[in-house]
Amino acid sequence: MKKIIVIFFVLIPLFALTQNLQKIEKEVFSYFKLPENVSQEDYQPEKIIIKIKPQYRSMAKSSSIEIPALNEEFQQLGVKSIQKKFPAEKPVSNKLNKNIDGQIVDLSLIYEIEIPQSVSLEKAINKLYRTGVIVYAEPLYIPKLLFSPNDPNVSSQYALAIMKAYQAWDITQGDTNVVIGILDTGTDFNHPDLLGNIKYNYNDPINGIDDDNDGYIDNFRGWNLGETNNYPQINSGSHGVHVTGIAAASTNNNTGIAGVGFNCKYLPVKVSNQNGILTHAYDGIVYAANQGCQIINCSWGSVGGGQYGQDIINYATFNKGALVVAAAGNNSKDEKFYPAAYANTLSVGATNTNDKKWTGSNYGYSIDVCAPGEGIYSTMPDNIYGGLSGTSMATPNAAGAAALVKSYFPSYNALQIAEQLKVTADKIDGLNEKSLESKLGRGRINIYRALTETNTPSIVLTNQTFKGSMHDYFIAGDTVSISCFFKNYLAPASNVSVTLKAKDNFIKVLNSSTYFGSIPTLDSVNNSADPFRVVILKDAPENTEALFTVTIQDGNYTADYFFTLMVNVDFINVKINDIGTTITSSGKIGYNKQGQQYGLGFTYKNNPTLLYEGGLMVGNSESAVSSCVRGEQGKTNQDFKSILRVTDSPLMVADINLEGKFNDNTSLTPLNVSINHNAYAWNSPEHRKYIIILYDIVNKGDKPINNLYAGIFADWDIMDYSVNRINYDSDNKMGYSYSLEPNGLYAGIKLLSSTAPPIHYAIDNINGGAGGVDITGGFENNKKFATLSTSRNEAGANQFGNDIIDVMSTGPFYLSPGDTAFIAFALIAGDDLVDLKSSAFAAQNKYDTEIPHNRNHKPIDENEVWFGKCYPNPTKNDVTFEFYLPSPAPVDLILYNSMGQIIEIIVQEASPQGFNRITTDTSILNAGVYIYRLTSGEFSSSGKLTVIK
């Protein structure tokens, strides 16, 4: 006789209303987390960039922000300084620049704040987000120069010949009114090949007065942002001087070399400090744009990106009409590099004398064009010349070309200049490795063609949207509609067709083409009325980015664009009621991966997430604990492996019904358990504030499991994480956490079952653990088992509270081989402690009266076939059928009419093991009731399908 042990929990957050001086609606916020490829060398650890929401403009002063909620956070963080990043910028008065059709950017609400070095940058940024008054908060990234030393005896400028600069100069030698902003380590005012092409500001001569009232005294010949003076002379290295010469050295002056821009001027903007560190790189873009530079050269970058940098690019592009030309990076990787990877820049890769990718150049679908970058001969400090290599060198070649295009086509806006260079570039894919196909942009720049070929359109894919059968996620069997949006920047197009192709064999394209006909210059079109349609096939890998190619054609003009779609995800976002969270296939709660990736966290009524990390832990000794939460310092345990991906459950007891299965076979010390899990959520009024989760833990081994404990680990960061507290309510068997701030929010975990005693352990997440378990140096198995099996009812018990973590568990249990322990949780929200208890009571009642558990619930059996459901039903168009196979097997899915006649054989073939979805189009059927039947071996399931018109 099998022993059945029943355990249930409820996870409960309670949130008070946020008080602000002005009423706002907060957006759901997923935790900020530094990207994995960003190191501490890539940002300034004591600096944060923030942007205040427009409704708080009256409280945004030059060196202070008079918003109480934000000032309180500043005080707790020990903020050292607050300064407007661009104090001279005025609020924008219009939203669109009619000339360029883009979003105007407001820089007047961006601030730079300085925090103590001892404060965690990530924690500080997340604290600021919780105020609800900022648009974004980000690190202040430090870009790096992008060059490599080369033979200093290079004696020729091969790049000019390859790019057809000589032929181009027969058409235009540039306009002195076109200015290239060189944002770098400075120029050399003593170099005879650079002195003659500086753009002088005659409105502000050197006299100690800011004659032009632009906020910079005597910026007659550029500006040194890094050292805050009017002398952008290089004082470290040679990078800036070399870059300047490539784009803008004086040409035809019987001296040295020729700059690609010929007569075009350059504005030196030094963005490095005295040590050559690029401390003011993005500030330089704003300065150059404000000073009237039509082209801005950025031979630098970093792997760190964010909305701040995109704001700066958009400001230059849309507010000021300047084209930002940026280096793609020297990491020899297929990776995004910023600012080059931002939208609205011209991203430049580097090639050599044979039009092959320079060995160090980055590549990828975000590259726009290439230009020569290996062994580029140019000016050096102290009146000499030499060769350097890098995308730093390719970028000024492109910037000089852009300046010539602007000179010859003065009416072109910034993006039109970029598109003209792209559509006239020489294709070089055939000269490079097959793996680089389409990853070197449109080709290598040809300046002559850019000046002479003016009848080519440039139709750009600007955006795409996705719509699935049911959810906002897409898994195997789903049919996805894809709408694409296009804009033609150059010559009118007359016979435009667009084709979609899938690069992966697990995607089947159903509707692959659309036709637009004519698209005038600067006009936009989309295929929302006739979207592309694709099916995610049954063998699609989990959590995979499917790659698509969109090919645009108009006669001889062809352009390819690429985008990705995350498919076959093994997590589901639950947002049906006041709670928002993510249910995963491997025991984590709130987020699918370490570092708050792919998930909602835990939200309530659109408040920012309260949960930093959450998940299941099970164990029976100090050495045998299986979990999906943090482990040894810097690591996360991933002891649970998905057997059945979480999906819609056939057990319809709530408005949202999810089901999945995982085991702990990947643990270093496995318990040999298999865990079915279900999640249920409702949207009716008294049940809108909780989600119930069930875990059925099965002993799959051949030996008994003694002393088993199971519980939920929850690292709550409620509003200001540093002033949190935990208490225990013995009447409700509930550990609850809350913020000590006024109207502080609450979160808790309630045990629903009574078959074993509740165990609650409150962790002070500070050095020393305040007398309890100290996990700041790592959360090893012995510490996990202690929190699962022993009690500690308070944390943050001092006057001001602190960072806390809660563990609610139950046990011990004895499981013979094959025995099952039914364990359940729920996630609940409320507006105060009374509301919290009310929601807990509602969840308990729902569990007692409606949720199947030990009385009649049958867990998923991976050894049996089962049919999920058919949806939507009724349907007008697509309908999806769900079923599970324990092993590959033949499947017949047939649709009949009411007379028993076969209308459609939907599938009649072998299907793979696991969860399957099959979608078919019913739009050609007459309205009425049909019968579907799915059979596989001895299994058979039938049902009614209603088709409506």
Give me the pLDDT at residue 151, please.
35
Total count of residues recorded for the chain? 949
Q: Omega before 817 cis (within 30°)?
A: no
Hey, CA dihedral for 339, 345, 350, 356, is it positive or negative?
positive
Q: Which of 184, 283, 696, 764 is labelled catalytic?
A: 184
Distance CA 183, CA 248 (A): 13
**741: number of Cβ within 10 Å:** 20
Give me the pLDDT at residue 854, please.
54
Residue 408 makes CB contacts below 8 A (sequence gap 6+) with 171, 172, 451
Give me the pLDDT at residue 860, please.
61
pLDDT tens by residue, 248-277: 999 988 888 999 999 999 999 999 999 899
- The burial of 189, by beta-carbon neighbours within 10 Å (0-12 exposed, 13-18 middle, 19 or more buried), is given as middle
**Catalytic (active site) residue 184:** yes
Distance CA 468, CA 306 (A): 28
**540: number of Cβ within 10 Å:** 21
Q: Which of 191, 239, 677, 853 is labelled catalytic?
A: 239
**Catalytic (active site) residue 188:** no
DSSP H stretches of helix in 66-111 = 68-77
The single-letter code of the amino acid at 349 is G
Helix (H, G, I), strand (E, B) or coil at 226: coil
* Distances 181 to 248, 261, 298, 741, 903 between C-alpha atoms, Å: 10, 12, 9, 49, 68
Helix (H) or strand (E) holding 813: strand 804-815
Q: What are the phi and psi torsion angles at 506 (to 5°)?
A: -95, 10
Strand partners, 878: 921
Strand partners, 553: 497, 558
| CA 308 to centroid of chain Cα atoms | 14
Distance CA 554, CA 497 (A): 7
Give me the pLDDT at residue 15, please.
32
**581: number of Cβ within 10 Å:** 27
* Distances 292 to 220, 416, 667 between C-alpha atoms, Å: 14, 18, 61
- Evaluate whether 783 touches 764 at the Cβ level (below 8 Å): no
Helix (H, G, I), strand (E, B) or coil at 7: coil
DSSP state, residue 376: E
Give me the pLDDT at residue 153, please.
35
- Evaluate whether 563 touches 461 at the Cβ level (below 8 Å): yes
DSSP state, residue 802: B
What are the residue ranges in the chain where pLDDT is below 50? 1-30, 95-100, 149-155, 855-857
- Evaluate whether 10 touches 749 at the Cβ level (below 8 Å): yes
**Catalytic (active site) residue 191:** no
Query: Between vectors from CA 596 to CA 135 and to CA 41, what angle results, nearest 5°?
Result: 75
pLDDT tens by residue, 766-781: 999 999 999 999 999 9
Give me the pLDDT at residue 830, please.
80
Q: Which two tokens stand for residue 617?
A: 């832990």
**904: number of Cβ within 10 Å:** 17
Give me the pLDDT at residue 101, please.
55
* Percent of the chain whose predicted confidence (pLDDT) is above 90: 63
For the sheet with 323-327, list strands across it. Answer: 223-224, 265-270, 179-184, 295-298, 323-327, 345-351, 369-372
Q: Which two tokens stand for residue 331?
A: 């990491």
Q: Which of 108, 392, 586, 674 is labelled catalytic?
A: 392
Measured between its terminal Cα atoms, the distance across the chain in Å is: 54
